[in-house]
Amino acid sequence: MSGETILIVDDHPQNLRLARLLLESEGYSVHTAVDAESALGELSQHRPQLVLMDVQLPGMDGLMLTRLLKADPRFADVPILALTANAMKDDEARARAAGCDGYVAKPMDVDRLLATISRLLHGSAGAANGEMGDPT
């Protein structure tokens, strides 16, 4: 993880700050956005290697933004990891259907989050097989 760029999209300032501190402490370069509009602005300036996407955003939600990004050839191959307070099985299926490459429920398990990010960035077997849910 030598400075890979991650865009965090989350409308809760505390979640955004904590995720940024965690990822920067792991050596990632982090950009942030509080909604779909500011995320699109960030994406016009920086191409991240991964996007952490809050599902529930004001205005355009995270799943709609995911669909938009996956339909854009510039970002179609960028892994998107859904972050959500919704932890129901159907929510994970909706995230997958929208194009998310991973799913982590809030509150986040830090070790699980970092392991999932690493799998998505480095293409291990778990990510290639679409591992999204709780491994237990």
- pTM for the structure as a whole: 0.87
Residue 27 CB partners (closer than 8 Å, separation 6+): 1, 2, 3
In a domain, 87, yes or no: yes
CB neighbours of residue 2 within 10 Å: 6
In a domain, 133, yes or no: no
In a domain, 136, yes or no: no
Enclosing domain of residue 12: 5-128
pLDDT tens digit sequence for 63-102: 999 999 999 999 999 999 999 886 677 888 899 999 999 9
pLDDT tens digit sequence for 50-66: 999 999 999 999 999 99
Q: Which two tokens stand for residue 39?
A: 């995320």
In a domain, 11, yes or no: yes
pLDDT value, residue 124: 59
CATH code of 114's domain:
3.40.50.2300
Pairing of strands 50-54, 5-9: parallel
pLDDT value, residue 106: 83
pLDDT tens digit sequence for 20-32: 999 999 999 999 9
State how many domains the chain has.
1
In a domain, 18, yes or no: yes
Mean of pLDDT over the chain: 88
State mean pLDDT over 116-130.
69
Answer whether residue 132 shows pLDDT above 60: no
CB neighbours of residue 81 within 10 Å: 23
